[in-house]
Amino acid sequence: ETGVTQTPRHLVMGMTNKKSLKCEQHLGHNAMYWYKQSAKKPLELMFVYNFKEQTENNSVPSRFSPECPNSSHLFLHLHTLQPEDSALYLCASSQEGHSRYGYTFGSGTRLTVV
């Protein structure tokens, strides 16, 4: 157990579906992140929340919608996705940006869009 829990672990959804990914951390961290990891590609930062406020949005399509109700929970709402959105979606947390202690990542949600 890494301290960051992501659910579900696997998700298959059609292009017209709406689903949500959930991330939870009880490490006392105040920054949380969504990353996308595609095969043989570098990690792509999608969203950053610091003290529940969104601080970065890396030109992510509007079909991805983040929500951070408190500093322990982070959601990624998905709707009308495309097959190229199939990837591993990783949640991470840290104490105010990337420090010498690094990020703590969850195990990810493997998303397949059909």
Partner 1 sequence: EDQVTQSPEALRLQEGESSSLNCSYTVSGLRGLFWYRQDPGKGPEFLFTLYSAGEEKEKERLKATLTKKESFLHITAPKPEDSATYLCAVQARNSNYQLIWGAGTKLIIKP
Tell me which residues touch partner 1 (CB under 8 A): 2, 4, 31, 33, 40-43, 45, 48, 50, 55-56, 58, 90, 92, 97-108
Which candidate, 49, 14, 51, places its Cα nearest to that of 32?
49
Closer residue to partner 1 in complex, CB, 82/99: 99
Asked, as a colleague might, if the bond just before 61 is cis with ω within 30 of 0, I would say no
Number of C-beta neighbours around residue 106 at 10 A: 24
Cβ-in-10-Å burial (0-12, 13-18, 19+) of 108 comes to buried
Rounded least distance, CB 76 to partner 1, Å: 15
Rounded least distance, CB 97 to partner 1, Å: 5
Closer residue to partner 1 in complex, CB, 34/64: 34
Rounded least distance, CB 22 to partner 1, Å: 15
Lookup: tokens for 63: 């079909």
Closer residue to partner 1 in complex, CB, 31/113: 31
